[in-house]
Structure 1
Amino acid sequence: MSFDQAFVTLATNDNYAKGAMVLARSLRNHHTTSKLVVLTGPQVSDPCQSVLKKLFDEVRVVDVLDSKDTAHLAMMKRPDLGVTFTKLHCWTLTHYSKCVFMDADTLVVSNIDDLFEREELSAAPDPGWPDCFNTGVFVFQPSMATYEKLMQYSAEHGSFDGGDQGVLNGFFSSWATTDISKHLPFIYNLSSIALYTYLPAFKQYGGNAKVVHFLGQMKPWSLTFDPKAQKVRGGSQDAVASHSSFLLDWWTLYSREVLPLLQEHYGDQPFHSGCVEEEECQEASAAASEASRLSSEERRERWERGQADYMGEDSFENIQKKLDAFLK
């Protein structure tokens, strides 16, 4: 085990804590030799904190930073991203020589310990604007000096998107042009929306994915899972489409290796596991479908913002049907 290197993630609430738990198990299952660290906010419940302590080598409660940049967050229709500033705390983990940060909505599907051979700040391009890096996965070197400079930069310049990605791209502004070795291959941060921007490439290279990133508002834990039928549902009647295999991987790992720990620590306390029987799944799916119906104009606007409904109307299956009909 590499005691001076660590994978780091962030959980500001119980939902993201569940994502962090699955991420931890996926890293362990693919035989990482590095430590696992999770930064948590005070909003994470005691049962979830207890499970995190079982799965991670270090659980550190930190103050939740918030950009409070309502203008830019409103532009992105993502007010929840303000607290992602809390990610900046990871530079304070100075008892590690090098770390890899991973968002809690990522899933490891192959060993990625080779990332520790990279230098700060190594990251994959963002699918929405490739001259920016996506902060879902990045290599960094903890340093209090860097942390203080980041905080000062944030105070003076803010963030162009209201979240951590804007401030980190502003601070590490030379990433796009200075050193190509700091550009991680896209397979280290395979974003779900990439299926729509370059489908042929996904067909060619998607099988080599090392990390899957469930970008956008719809997260695996916002769906439902029927363990008996081995089906993931949510968003629409034929919800599980383009990312069905990755979503099934996430839910299978959650139901087998995380849920038993949660049930143990919640005891008699009620909590939403997300695992329900077929009829309940259908009811939840129908309700979600009704709530998610959008006008064509609203759908277009979401596409332009990189927020396609890849689990519903904009699923790979539906897009392929329309393309086939057009080409014929």
Structure 2
Amino acid sequence: MRDPVTKPADLPGRLRALWEAPDSAPALQVDGAWVPWGTLRALADEITRSLDGLGLGRGARVGVLLGNWTESIAAILAILGTERCLTVFNPLQPAERLAGDLERATPPVLIVPERAWASSGLAEPVERLGISLIRTSAEGIASMRVGRGDAAITAVEAPGVAVELTTSGTTGPPKRIPLTYRQLEASVGSARGHMKPGGGDRAYFEGGVAIVSVPLVHIGGMWGALQALGDARRIILLERWTLDRWLDVIREHRPRLGALPPAALRTLMSANVPAEDLASLRALTCGTAPVSPDLVDAVLERYGIHVLGVYGATEFSGAVAGWSLPDHQQWWAKKRGSVGRAFPG
């Protein structure tokens, strides 16, 4: 293993530090195949050059149709590494809702993977609104079309805002929430200190893996990807969660810490998965919805795995409270049902 490399404290700096990684380093696994860092870096550089060519510099809003794809990770690196604003659009929405969301947000440019373009229904609103279009593939930029100048004029720069992310819409129509670089840095940093995962300054893309199975358009998926990229960890990116695929990853990589939302935990328990398949896991973090204390106890009794509930929201830039493993081992019996301690800060 190479000597650990100390990363900067700020999020853009930590992302830019990845450019020092060797091109051959396995950075991302998608559909069971590794994507080397050089491939991700090259696509991120292409995106950056295209945005520069459109005159969209620091603080500019950049729309991205963001799925759990290689192209999305490259877009995150390009946009946040250069301190632009990532305006997220959800490919899981029906085409008419997605078009309406685009019309309300009207970014000056939209990045769409080729794999999703035909089914997105975005061709008409992109043309009508005069939005510049960058279509990407995992290998590079497939095509680019410059929009009308008035779209850029109506786009408001977002200085200090890193991500514009929509809420889940549980209390009404989804709302677009601006999350600043400072908020994200504080959120990821406080959780890192609270959970004490260790190895924050490691060699690039060595050591354990981070499994991202929650959609990147959800604060849980976005937060997990940013934490992994900031720590230069290898990412296992699941386009969608299935028990079989998740178990394949656990068996292959033998992580000590994983993450599952309550619905996936219930699926796991219903499937009667053999204990030896999960033998590497000491804990599973659990967010996105309340987790029943009975379910926490059942997982611990059957598998010896501590379920560490976390509490957060899009508006908070992620989790603001949660259990650490030492706390859970010491206090769960007395604090059963709690969401743990408030994170530092």
TM exceeds 0.5? no
- Bigger strand fraction: 2
Q: TM-score, normalised by structure 2?
A: 0.27
Q: TM-score, normalised by structure 1?
A: 0.28
- Bigger helix fraction: 1
